[in-house]
Amino acid sequence: MSDSAALNQRFGIPGHISFKETDGMIVAEIDNLHAKADICLQGAHLMHWTPHGQPAVIWMSPAATLAPGKSIRGGVPVCWPWFGPHATRTDVPGHGFARTVMWEVIGTKALEDNGTWIALRLVPTDATRAQWPYPSEVVLQIAIGKTLDMDLGTLNTGSEPITIGDALHTYFTVSDIREVLVHGLEGTTYIDKVDGGSYKKQSGPVLIEQEVDRVYLDTSGDCVIEDPGWQRRIRIAKRGSHSTVVWNPWFEKAQKMGDLGENGYRKMLCVESTNAANDIVTIAPKKEHHLWVRYSVEAEK
């Protein structure tokens, strides 16, 4: 029996979730009364979330490719157990290994509000242990409905404290990057990675008129992407994260990256709920840390 057939037998729920194999990759497809979504089991990578009657909320690059061990451009990459470059090692991937290794489905459920719940757990290997030898378990829970809820949980199964950085590195779809505003970060301090890592203060909402790559510090409140072109606001609520990354590569960087598609940078904006910079997390033995987000769409006021 194929992997997808076995998964459908054990975790498929008619009217909610099924599993298919595409280019050798296993994908969970969710289609319920509220929305459509799909999740690649490699990286527990949510690739799309489109509430019925809405333009897609989560952006996927038209030039993205699904390939074993390769990160996917778009969706919600899971950055774990570090964010950005490793603090000391150069032989390990930026943003950690979680997004390019296999995760296993450990549960699915039809929710009372007609949403769909799925839980996935990272499958440790010799290769992951060589990068991260600390006893731990990481589980991503996702509830797809009128809202998109994601909970990245890390359990310290060892007898010593562990320290992690992590993020839900979410790509949101916008009508035109030059038109949108990001509210919720006014007056906060950020590290400007486009300007030598200098510390700056955010004045007013965030406008995107050039490459933006900023780590906003001590930020735990909601962010709102105001998109006048589609007369909608995307609300990003979170818990367990006190830093927020706003990133758009703009034209030149996008050209160099080569996997955002023709002018793809104009249709996407990353607002990432993170434990990054000084916001790394130390977890005591047998304790857990949860990074939780809720994405929702509101009509333009």
Which is nearer to ligand TA6, 71 or 141 (by Cβ)? 71
Near ligand TA6 by CB under 6 A: residue from 16, 34, 169, 266:
169
Active site residue 272: yes
Residue 197 contacts ligand TA6 per CB under 6 A:
no
Two tokens, residue 92: 């390990």
- How far, in Å, CA of 34 to CA of 167, rounded? 26
- How far, in Å, CA of 51 to CA of 195, rounded? 37
Least separation in angstroms between residue 36's CB and ligand TA6 is 24
Catalytic residue among 16, 34, 48, 169: 169
Side chain identity, residue 172: F
The dihedral built from the CA positions of residue 83, 88, 91 and 97, taken in this order, carries a sign that is: negative
Stretch 269-298: interaction string toward ligand TA6, x if CB under 6 A: -x-x--------------------------
Tell which positions 108-147 bind ligand TA6, by CB under 6 A: none
Question: Contact 81/132 with Cβ under 8 angstroms?
Answer: yes
Least separation in angstroms between residue 193's CB and ligand TA6 is 6
- How far, in Å, CA of 228 to CA of 214, rounded? 23
Residue 7 contacts ligand TA6 per CB under 6 A:
no
- Cβ-in-10-Å burial (0-12, 13-18, 19+) of 45 comes to buried
Near ligand TA6 by CB under 6 A: residue from 117, 132, 171, 247:
247
Residue 213 contacts ligand TA6 per CB under 6 A:
yes
So which residues are the catalytic ones? Answer: 169, 272
